[in-house]
Chains A and B, each alone.
Chain A
């Protein structure tokens, strides 16, 4: 993200306090997450401290503070899924990816997230892997899914070369 990107976005705002949330939304939409650099730039533009901006942004679950990986894995933690053992599914992802929830793997391939109910409780526990719904998840499927996407990625990068 270059300086020009910020200038572009900021030029559409007046620099008032009320601009904070729309600004955060726009930056997130454009870049996928709110970086430290973004917070610093917003702080200079709106003259609100970085600490306050982070406070506001972290209140809303829609804002992400980490760069998303190529594939996002959302594990549902809603009541129904929870009862059916979604915690174990989440643990299995954590073990395999060596990341915690809301983190991205070092190779920037996977981001692990939790969500609260996606409205398909009958299918629980549910995992949304890169946009695809996987109902009645089992621990043993976790590794299969990861392998599948890893090789998918490799193929894509080969063809890209």
Chain B
């Protein structure tokens, strides 16, 4: 294509410019550093043309066109700042301000107010006016400044709308809203939520969900995208509402799931006041989910953070110095035999922490007894899940795919940036197919949806496997037996779509992971992917699950993901570490924690395994928060949170990403690796004299391929490499009973997956208590009617093995005859799904 076809020549304010064809006047001006005032326009959103601040004069065009909606044309002559244009802008801005609280904008005292607060008022203190949380960061304020508006010549009208504070995380004061529509556009164009719309019209126009629903009820993702784009103080984050402007920022990686979004920590003094998405082209493209956007500050600032170590002496807590804690640990560990030692370390820890932890176990204690609770989370499906991670493709493949199969995936609260990518893919013409026994947020964009009854997922997937088999297999008896007419037709259609698709991608969420049949489900997914040459991206719940395998924090895995049973591998480590490493002989792991024999020393780093204290003589609990009292740890050591340390994580796609220290840890808290190194040194063990995360990273990169420069980690997506398997006894063969007369409902259970360092996030982040509800049982309306149960009733759920009481939620998307509940990690009901009966608790 010749150059002339792609660009046009225009004249803005007497500058001759060559600009890309198809740009709007506003974008063309911006690219050439010519300022045109604008309010409703936003670089990531479609033009709206609502505020009229951007009016310009264009030769040959009548009136004043808006620069944000008018495309450039060859030979256009544009004037951006004629006297008439400026005068109109001032007038328009005054009109906008006539419906907007404006003391912060045009008060005579405003300049002095901030510093001296001199205005006389009735209160006995000088307070100054703080009407609006956006003070100092408001785009309206900027414009008033730039256009020199000093007074408002229109009658002031206050809309007197109720300030909406009912939802978690952000407040809405639509008295400050200028109806620019940015929030609506970001919610409709970028997110899947579509929570916001203009309602009514004319002077009654307001922004919000249908009727007067709360955002929770309207399907909001609480992604905060609307808060970020609002030019005024109408939308404001609850926790940082009055914090004002950040003093500095630090780029880091979110540790709250395996997507690994890049976030900007907002910092004031030595405190995190908030977090915003980075415009990172590889992972999250300027978007975050509720966890990364709204939970970080509250999580790391909670007043209950551990600051000083303490030991328990005769049942009472005694605060000690870190030095004493290190001595005490060294003493106990030196006296502990390898088989009587066990360490659990969190897959939320950095690679450097994990690497040091396993080196500590293997060299300082001489034991392979190190594990993570990921083993209990994935259970019998763990190996199958790791197999999928070995095939992982980058998230960006979603954008290239013509068909995306989402298995057990929901992106409303967790992983919502994946939802954003899906939406983009759909816009581009891709088709989404979902398989999920439960309701989920992809319904709006799905082309085909399958909602199998629990226990039928394997059949459904296996049918697809068979239908996509390259070699023609004779009709399977099971397909004809199990699937009814229309379903089998649908399945054939989907099989055909998958076979014909170019580069299909499968995304695997966490809905099935706790089911008895999860290994079979995940295996079927793998087979199906092979049949249709699809890329798979499993989306791990734990942010550094990948790192935990690669660093070797499992008895079965050595650094590099090598199998511990390999003699040569161990010899190699001995050489590299110049230390003795025992041959593999571990019987211990996270599953045997409570059932196994009594241990001499148990060491939990960022892990809080459920069911209180496992049998042990000495329990060291190292974390950022104190344990539940039922633990009665002998020693508690405070760790640094991810905002207080340097290091790296590896996300689900296999990208090595940096974690950067933004603030100092509280009190005597230190990064986990540093505490471990101090203990090892105290024990007189060599090979632990690291003084920073970089040195550890360098040792890792000398052992494992793909780890480059610490300051410039390549962040390339790489499928996981690990040899061997985890030792997971197939103790739970799939023998789930069907529902019968006595227990007519099939109850499925998922486990609360939103945790950080072993604690449910909702323990420390208030707003999440409303979003991540546990112990609430979903019931189909028809079933509820038959059993006389209504919303919020207490329901007694009985099976042959247990009786529980949960609170009812009536949900039309729950399939009839099935029930669902989310439970905290560690609480189990045995078989899953499980036949049960229900009745309302008598009051």
Contacts and interface: CB of A to CB of B under 8 A. Distances in A.
Interface of A: 36, 39, 44, 47-56, 58-59, 65
Given A36-B211, A58-B200, A59-B200, A51 B218 contact: yes
* Residue among A48, A52, A56 facing the most chain B CB atoms (10 A cut-off): A52
A82 B200 CA distance: 22
A55 B199 contact: yes
B226 interface: no
A51 B200 contact: no
What 6 A-B pairs have minimum CB-CB distances, sorted nearest first?
Answer: A55-B197, A49-B194, A54-B210, A51-B209, A51-B210, A50-B210
A52 B195 CA distance: 8
B335 interface: no
B198 A59 contact: yes
Interface string B208-248: 11110100001100000000000000000000000000000
B507 interface: no
Interface in B170-195: 188, 193-195
Given A47-B444, A47-B445, A52 B197 contact: yes
B199 A49 contact: no
B192 to A, nearest CB: 9
B444 A51 contact: no
Given A49-B444, A55-B199, A59-B200, 19 more contacts: A47-B443, A48-B194, A48-B444, A49-B193, A49-B194, A49-B195, A50-B210, A51-B194, A51-B197, A51-B208, A51-B210, A51-B218, A54-B197, A54-B209, A54-B211, A55-B210, A59-B198, A59-B199, A65-B211
B218 A55 contact: no
A38 to B, nearest CB: 12
Nearest to A56: B197
Given A58-B199, A58-B200, A59-B198, A53 B210 contact: yes
16 contacts: A36-B211, A44-B443, A47-B443, A48-B444, A49-B193, A49-B195, A49-B444, A50-B209, A50-B210, A51-B194, A51-B219, A52-B194, A52-B197, A55-B199, A55-B210, A59-B198
A51 to B, nearest CB: 4
Nearest to B444: A47
Nearest to A60: B201
A51 B196 CA distance: 6
A114 to B, nearest CB: 13
A50 B196 CA distance: 10
Nearest to B218: A51
B211 A52 contact: no
B451 to A, nearest CB: 13
Given A36-B211, A39-B210, A51 B195 contact: yes
Contacts of B443: 44, 47
B219 A49 contact: yes
Contacts of A50: 209-210, 218-219
Contacts of A48: 194, 444
Nearest to B201: A59
Contacts of B444: 47-49
B188 A52 contact: yes
A42 B200 CA distance: 19
Nearest to B202: A59
Contact of A54 (B193, B199, B201, B445): B199
* Residue among A36, A44, A48, A50 facing the most chain B CB atoms (10 A cut-off): A50
Nearest to B194: A49
Contacts of A47: 443-445
A55 B218 CA distance: 13
